[in-house]
Chains A and B, each alone.
Chain A
Amino acid sequence: MNFCYRHAVGLVLMLLASILVALPVQAVEREFDEYEVKAFAIYNLAKFIEWPENSLAAAPNLTIYIIGDDPFKNFREAMKDKSVQGKAIVIKKINSPADVKDAGILFISRSEIDHLPNILSGISRAPVLTVGDTQSFASRGVMVNFYVENDKIKFEINVEAANLKGLKISSNLLKMGKIIATSKE
């Protein structure tokens, strides 16, 4: 049993690990679906944003546009009777940034990672808060970008990008997120 001695560390680890695996389920902290949380986070974000020159007031609703693969499950359902700044929330899936017609929020899916510059430059003059959840999006010009840290949802804010489009972000929101600048690389 020479190999038992030679690999004592490995065997002990293995044993320990398999015991851990086989342990009965403990009452663990409640976990939620990532995109369910993100859906409500986007809704809550809207409360901290001031759209330029009453452009939101002029719009019939607050539209959340989704471009690319839709990772949300029941976004529409969840927003059914929600409103922000007096506007009902409407979810709209779009194929091209040109489909953005009114002030609102544009969620750029991870699937669009290679088209990001085209999307950002293709948005019409309608002021939209751009939101993403893909690494490097904030530094590439997306205004709010979610990321997951220690199983919790955090976000980065590119203030410069928001200011360029005339959107004002409340200081309370800035306190909660990480400020990121557009990188020119």
Chain B
Amino acid sequence: MTDTLSSGAVVRFRLYLIGIIIFGSILLPICPSVLSLAYAADNDDNATKDLENLSLEELMDVKVVTVSGASKFDQPVKDAPASVSIVTAEDIKHYGYRTLSDILRSVRGFYTTYDRNYEYLGMRGFSRAGDYNTRYLLLVDGHRINDPIYNTAFVGTEFPVDVDLIDRMEIIRGPSSSIYGTNAFMGVINIVTKKGSDINGMEVSGEAGGFGTYKERLSYGRKFDNGLEAIVSGSNFNSAGRSTLYYGEFDSPTTNNGIVQNADEGRYQSVFSTISINDLKLQGAYSSRAKTIPTAAWDTVFNDPRDRTIDTIGYLNLEYQYNINNLSKITSSIYYDNYHYNGSYSYPDNFNKDISQGQRLGGDVRLTTTMLDKQTIIMGGEFVDNLQQNQSTYYVQPYSVQLDDRRTSNNWAVYAQDELKILNNLILNAGLRYDYYSTFGGTLNPRMAMIYNPIDSTTIKLLYGRAFRAPTTYELYYNDGGVTQKTNPDLRPELIETYELILGQSLGLGYLLEASLFYNDIKNLITLETDPTDGLLVFRNQGNLTTKGIELQIDKQWDNKVKGSVGYTFQQTKDEQTNQDVTNSPQHLLKAKLMVPLISNKLFAGIEEQFTSRRMMSNGEFAGSFYITNLTLSSSNYIKGMEASMSVYNLFNKKYTDPAPPQNLQSAIEQDGINFRLKVTYRF
């Protein structure tokens, strides 16, 4: 009892402390800056007069107040053969995003599921229970992050790059296997990181958030006169997590009446660096995240803080670009990835360790040429050697090994894409890629797009794409010695075919409309099933889903730099074999956001509203629909080099749940109520 009391006092103390800092950081700058604005208004006339007499050289030496996003983060979504959303560093700042999952949840058509260990992505009505985001290809500056064993696209705190280092995130909807191969199934998420010159000096950042969450970051970046550009950054994250959690399914005296105490801790350390000189670029990242699992997933002992996973991800990527002439260039890279997974699970009579180790060595070469008139041709090849794809699981005391599976595999691919300007306002984009896997053989995947601009303000895109996802090492070979699960080395790849019609229309007065109509057909879905002959779990190519949907988005930018958007998705996913609705597939998604500069270039308010309609759970019941509101106030440029922000997530303390993956006894996992974050960054 005293324990609870004192921890309550600590929580309250933290709340006070953080509250004081919030007010210090947000309110104090407002008052003097209002004064300084008045001062500026007084001197406006003189300012213009002064500029009037300056030479060009002198003009280039005066300091300007940079308008948000000044020339840096804009990227044309020109003629992309897909529906693309872009999230910039400014958005990350103004809306207080903490993880990729935060970012993706704010993007039209995406939703997430959190089981208090990993974040799972859903899009276009598709989110398989227990899928580690294998249907999304996650890239950092073009380098594949999905690991060699589970093919996870890490979007939670285990993602190896600090979100503060993201310059731009490109979210490409639809299949892109014709260029990228496996995992580019539902979509591709490409993260473009900041360069040395974006930091230009030293940056220190500290943040404190709800549930005892703290993060520190130190970054250094610079571009030197000799052409060398470097960025080095390190982050440290600690989160105590929820001190108590309640799960009704475990509400019995033998399992602490369903209450979990202090078993929601999360930690990570990460380092990231990019060094480039001329056309050569070397990038490396390393991160290790540990998370305690409070949900007693995999039938482990309830309320035991020893249940946890550690995901360690590292890679090195060396890229070289060679310009043959004005019209052609070759880009090539060689890379090395290392992934280590360490799971600890406590059982009533024993303790289980689940360990995986993957290593991947690969390289690719790509030629881009515009030698032929009106055509941009890309041709390339890729080779991947999975040096190690080992999975093991054993009991500690008494020691017994259930699985010690050691594998290697390789795959290669060749591909080509041609963008042909048939007319000045009509583009045909066609791509084809052949992949060969040592595990299952070959697969050929095309993509076609017609992009038509009948008038300046209108773009019409018609898209067809086919993509595959290779069975993962985990799906092929994981078993526990025949106790509950067996292998299926004969798995074939999953396939998806998509058709999409997109209309982009500029409506004038800063209004932009994007509408899209899509149809997805997924076949040979790899599904975990129970074999009726022996009662063992096994992965099989079993499942055929179709999704029909429509998406609408309106973006508006006002003259006074206020920006807003509303995106809506309606989708229906059906299991074609059973003719039933599928789990974790909301019919309606709504995303609205508004960014208002309260004081020009100094203080911004970002507000978001996200609606997810009800989602079916594994037991046939529904996780209810919910609205979430997030609010972020951020100030920058007030003191040179200083940025401060305050975010409140789930502002109205909405209680809501996410459907749980199959390893949980719970059918739904309750999500966090109101929580906050304060962040201060100083650059010098």
Contacts and interface: CB of A to CB of B under 8 A. Distances in A.
Given A13-B680, A133-B71, A34 B64 contact: yes
A48 B54 CA distance: 15
A32 B25 CA distance: 25
A34 B47 CA distance: 12
Contacts of A99: none
B25 A13 contact: no
Nearest to A9: B216
Interface stretch (A20-28, A57-65, A123-131): A20-28
Best-buried of B73, B236, B456 by chain A (most CB within 10 Å): B456
Interface stretch (A84-92, A100-108, A151-159, A161-169): A151-159
Nearest to B326: A184
Interface string B200-234: 10001111100010111000000000000000000
Contact of A45 (B56, B71, B559, B678): B56
B308 to A, nearest CB: 18
B682 A176 contact: no
B212 to A, nearest CB: 6
B337 to A, nearest CB: 28
Nearest to B36: A25
A55 interface: no
Nearest to B639: A20
B515 interface: no
B368 A37 contact: no
Contact of A21 (B24, B70, B197): B24
Contacts of A78: 48, 52
Question: B-side binding surface: helix, strand, loop or mixed?
Answer: mixed
B14 interface: yes
Given A31-B65, A33-B65, A135-B72, A17 B208 contact: no
Interface string B71-105: 11111111000000000000000000000000000
A152 B204 contact: no
Given A7-B214, A9-B236, A34 B65 contact: yes
A28 B76 contact: no
Given A21-B638, A36-B51, A153 B60 contact: yes
A114 B644 contact: no
Best-buried of B21, B47, B64, B238 by chain A (most CB within 10 Å): B64
Contacts of A151: 63-66
A29 B327 CA distance: 45
Contacts of B642: 17, 20-21
A116 B32 contact: no
B28 interface: yes
Interface string B532-560: 00000000000000000000000001010
Contacts of B3: none
A1 B9 CA distance: 11
Contacts of B56: 41, 44-45, 47-48, 173, 176
Interface string B330-370: 00000000000000000000000000000000000000101
Interface residues of B, number: 74
B62 A32 contact: yes
Interface string B233-277: 000101010000000000000000000000000000000000000
B74 A21 contact: no
Contact of A114 (B54, B70, B77, B557): B77
A136 interface: yes
A96 B24 CA distance: 50
B59 A7 contact: no
A76 interface: no
B8 to A, nearest CB: 14
A22 B21 CA distance: 10
B376 A185 contact: yes
Contact of A41 (B59, B74, B559): B59
B61 A14 contact: no
Nearest to B59: A41
Contact of A153 (B35, B64, B206, B678): B64
B74 A134 contact: yes
A116 B74 CA distance: 13
B29 interface: yes
Interface string B420-452: 000011000000000000000000000000000
Contacts of B216: 9-10, 13
A113 interface: yes
Nearest to B457: A115
A118 B47 contact: no
B644 A17 contact: yes
B64 A14 contact: no
Contact of B57 (A33, A71, A176): A176
Contacts, number: 179
A21 B76 contact: no
A17 B636 CA distance: 13
Nearest to A78: B48
Given A31-B63, A33-B65, A134-B74, A3 B240 contact: yes
Interface in B490-532: 510
Contacts of A152: 60-64
Contacts of B21: 14, 18
Contact of A185 (B35, B55, B208, B370): B370
Contacts of A9: 206, 216, 236
Given A10-B215, A153-B59, A69 B24 contact: no
B368 A21 contact: no
B75 A135 contact: yes
Nearest to B25: A21
B675 interface: no
A171 interface: no
Contacts of B64: 31-34, 37, 148, 151-153
A146 B71 CA distance: 8
B51 A118 contact: no
A6 B208 CA distance: 13
Nearest to B70: A148
B55 A44 contact: yes
B67 interface: yes
B10 interface: yes
A4 to B, nearest CB: 10
Contacts of B51: 32, 36-37, 40
Contacts of B33: 25
Given A34-B65, A37-B51, A40-B51, A21 B208 contact: no
A117 to B, nearest CB: 8
Contact of B208 (A14, A47, A116): A14
B60 A40 contact: no
A110 interface: yes
Best-buried of A21, A114, A133, A134 by chain B (most CB within 10 Å): A21
Contacts of A174: none
A9 B216 CA distance: 8
A184 B639 contact: no
Contact of A34 (B25, B70, B456): B70
A150 interface: yes
Contact of A28 (B14, B55, B510, B640): B640
Given A13-B680, A21-B680, A31-B64, A121 B424 contact: yes
A109 to B, nearest CB: 11
Best-buried of A6, A10, A154 by chain B (most CB within 10 Å): A10
Given A32-B51, A36-B51, A116-B76, A135 B71 contact: yes
Contact of A36 (B14, B47, B63): B47
Shortest 3 CB-CB contacts between residues of A and residues of B = A13-B206, A17-B680, A44-B56
11 contacts: A1-B10, A3-B212, A22-B25, A37-B59, A37-B62, A69-B510, A115-B456, A147-B70, A153-B64, A155-B60, A185-B329
Given A31-B63, A32-B62, A116-B76, 17 more contacts: A1-B10, A6-B238, A14-B678, A21-B25, A21-B28, A21-B29, A24-B32, A32-B63, A33-B64, A34-B64, A36-B47, A69-B510, A69-B557, A118-B425, A146-B71, A149-B197, A151-B66
